[in-house]
Structure 1
């Protein structure tokens, strides 16, 4: 779960993810592009615009100039903007929202093609180079796994907004979930307040089915074969866990979709405090 990803495999998965997103939004009508997504303040259009902005920045490109007819909004005043990364995301969206959906899709395809080319040209030194990312300074390889996770999550956002079903498992889902799962021990302790000495078990069903055991000692960490019963165990669909971790759903509305064993009060406390992504 913690090893750096293989370069050819991850580059291929990122390329595939770019194409899956293209297919998901190709043919949308203008009203569909403006469908609200699970992300506060963002439509389907904005989700793709956000990906354009991030991948463009990775290419060294700046946001387009502001349309003179577009109001100049202080993005830091928007209620869903909580940090500098969020502000930068909104600058890109403010500069793109005057486009049509078809224009945005053409921009996205162009950025995706340039990113594919840039990724294909990376050498081993660049792949391992320390790089600033949303999770701190990490090797570029880890940053690209974060990018796969982000784009995979946004695939789910768009699908949920449009009422469509997409494949949540498979190779892309496995690698994206590996990145997601790195944060769960910290979240269980910092947000969920799991007490020292506790053992938390997550039994996942669905496309990314697996059982995860998290032991809370001086720090929380995964264990493969615990020698005791879980203090609290939660059973839920893998897609629901990801959406809770991403802050995409209100925990209070989905507790009836989670099974609790052991200390059920602790289990419900954990379920209510899983959100950690930006």
Structure 2
């Protein structure tokens, strides 16, 4: 479950993900850029601005200076800012929101071009070096899979905001989903409070169809071959699972799109507590 793509494979997937985001926002008018996204407080403009900010930070750059005409806001007081990473994201957005969508897209192209060159220039030592990331200190390679997942999720955010459909499967979607799935056992046990001795099965349909078995013991873990019957099987579309894990949808509003077999009460409890991303 945790096998990483090779460096050439992962950098190619990231590059393809950057292109997929470009395809979604190219040609938007100014009103469309300001369309609310599924993320509280963020528009489509803000989603792309966030990616610019993160990739700029990875290039060692600081947020641009605040425009004198822009109010100086304490970003930590905003209701959707819950931690230091969220605060840094919001600082970048406060500094970028005065730009037009066209200006932001040009900035995105420029930053992404430099990031592609920086990734291509990395050697194996740098690729495997310990790096601070949203999931703790991990090899830089793992951090880049986190980046792939983050950008892939934001592709879905933008598509959902625009009412567009995108391909959520394929090699890129599978690699992003693998990063997402790393957190599911912990979320099921800690947030969903699945009891020790239970076996939770996610039966996914859709573009990333697969079956995931999570055994809860001293710690929750994936098992390929369960030793017994599932305590509950939660059957749903892979895209819905990702959006629940990302806190993009209200669980109560989508329970009718999910089938529970076995302990349905436990299944609903888990589904109501799946949101875990920053």
Query: TM-score, normalized by length of structure 2?
Result: 0.99
CA deviation vs aligned residue, 1:159-188 (integer Å, no higher than 9, x gap) = 000000000000110000000000000000
Alignment match, 1:236 = 236
Q: Does 1:61 align with 2:56?
A: no
Alignment match, 1:182 = 182
The worse-fitting range, judged by mean Cα deviation, of 186-195 and 2-11 is 2-11
CA deviation vs aligned residue, 1:1-20 (integer Å, no higher than 9, x gap) = 21233100000000111111
SS in 2 for 1:261: strand
Query: In the aligned structure 1, how far is the partner of 2:19 from the partner of 2:62?
Result: 23
Alignment match, 1:51 = 51
Alignment match, 2:173 = 173
Alignment match, 1:92 = 92
1:227 Cα deviation (Å)?
2.3
CA RMSD of aligned residues (A): 0.5
Alignment match, 1:125 = 125
CA deviation vs aligned residue, 1:80-115 (integer Å, no higher than 9, x gap) = 000000000000000000000000000000011000
Q: How does 1:121-160 map to 2 (within 5 A)?
A: 121-160=121-160
Query: In the aligned structure 1, how far is the partner of 2:142 from the partner of 2:216?
Result: 25
Aligned residues: 278
Query: TM-score, normalized by length of structure 1?
Result: 0.99
Query: In the aligned structure 2, how far is the partner of 1:70 from the partner of 1:242?
Result: 35
Query: In the aligned structure 2, how far is the partner of 1:182 from the partner of 1:249?
Result: 20
Query: In the aligned structure 1, how far is the partner of 2:3 from the partner of 2:14?
Result: 18
CA deviation vs aligned residue, 1:60-80 (integer Å, no higher than 9, x gap) = 011011000000000000000
Alignment match, 1:113 = 113
